[in-house]
Amino acid sequence: MKRRDFISLVGGAAAWPLAARAQQPGKLPTIGYLGSGTSATQGQWVAALVRRLHELGWSEGRNLTIEHRWADGRTDYLPELAAELVARKVDVIVTTGTPPALAVKHATSTIPIVFVGIGDPVSTGVVKSLARPGGNATGLSQQATDTGGKRLELLREAVGGLRRVAVLVNVGNPYIPLEMKELELAAGNLGLELVAVEVRRVEDIVPALIAIRGQVQALYVPGDPLIFTHRVRVVTVALAGQLPTIHNLREHVDAGGLMSYGPSFVDLHRRSGDYVDKILRGTKPADIPVEQPTKFDLIINLVTARSLGIEISPSLLARANELIE
């Protein structure tokens, strides 16, 4: 596993923030980024953060350093990687998703944390409240529990006669039970039956998906570090079994999934740059409210739809933000 992957920040000169200079004279402020996947699967998100930081006057080598740690989709690596960043005494840690945020939260109560895309930061214990986070963490929620029902609605609209839907569940993700509760409520209202397909390791994905062939008519894929990192494998096996899929992130649809609906993680990472900037300039995380997504996208892969023999209705096509052809 490659645990260090440095991404260069390019750009012109910028003034040193006084708070950062006073913090550690002679040492550049350092951002630690803990990624749940790999630089290949999440690099575009980090690039959005980097671009925003540059716009705000931060440039690596001039007034900033960034250190990266990648878990390769393995949640069991997260505590060790979080501890590494804490030991490096970074000035702020940026991380994506619930498992990495919890790992960092357990590793330090003093280093500021900026999280991106946690489904429910209050229920999972990362912050005390959205308006007043308290402690050392703040960031951007992805409202996943509010959009799960919408995804099921879209899936039912796209797949005629839909009755049974499999949900790919990583039992090691502490957020998944919260999303499942919302999905079960929505499924009851929509007349759908959910079938939980549990995985714990990457090696479980293929046999778990093969086992449900012929038993369900579609696959719901929640947001999860393990599944996201191995999304190509998930989509490939699902399509081989003629299973249409719906996801929370467009990257799954780029890999061949049928549809995705959810917040733009590129946009969320861009906005996280404002949090980092405020913290490096002296604002405490406890005083920065958690914000929600403002950009939601419906992406439909028409190539996949044709391969599955699915005809997407004109009304659904008209609502899509992007069609992949």
Whether residue 144 is predicted with pLDDT greater than 50 in this model: the reply is yes
The predicted structure's pLDDT at residue 18? 35
Region 250-258: mean pLDDT is 95
Region 110-138: mean pLDDT is 93
Residue count of the chain, please give it.
325
Q: How confident is the model at residue 21 (pLDDT cuts 50, 70, 90)?
A: very low
Answer with the residue of higher pLDDT: 178 or 150.
150
Mean pLDDT, the chain, rounded, equals 89
The predicted structure's pLDDT at residue 2? 42
Whether residue 316 is predicted with pLDDT greater than 50 in this model: the reply is yes
3-state secondary structure of 15: coil
pTM score, two decimals?
0.80
Whether residue 95 is predicted with pLDDT greater than 80 in this model: the reply is yes
Region 244-267: mean pLDDT is 94
Least-confidence region, from 4-8, 128-132, 176-180, 262-266: 4-8
3-state secondary structure of 150: helix
Evaluate whether 66 touches 60 at the Cβ level (below 8 Å).
yes
Structure tokens, 127: 């912050």
The predicted structure's pLDDT at residue 145? 56
Whether residue 19 is predicted with pLDDT greater than 60 in this model: the reply is no
The predicted structure's pLDDT at residue 17? 40
Region 13-33: mean pLDDT is 59
Residue pointed to by tokens 């449900």: 212
Half-sphere exposure of 83 (CA within 13 A, CB side): 5
The predicted structure's pLDDT at residue 4? 42
CA triple 239-244-248, angle to 5 deg = 110
The predicted structure's pLDDT at residue 290? 96
Strand partners, 32: 67, 93
Whether residue 1 is predicted with pLDDT greater than 90 in this model: the reply is no
Structure tokens, 250: 């467009």
Whether residue 235 is predicted with pLDDT greater than 50 in this model: the reply is yes
The closest alpha carbon to 74, from 99, 42, 106, belongs to 99
Q: Which domains does the chain have, with CATH numbers?
A: 18-142+264-294 (3.40.50.2300), 144-263+297-324 (3.40.50.2300)
In the chain, at which residue ranges do the beta strands (DSSP E only) sit? 30-35, 65-70, 92-96, 113-118, 137-141, 164-170, 193-199, 218-221, 245-247, 259-263, 296-301, 322-324
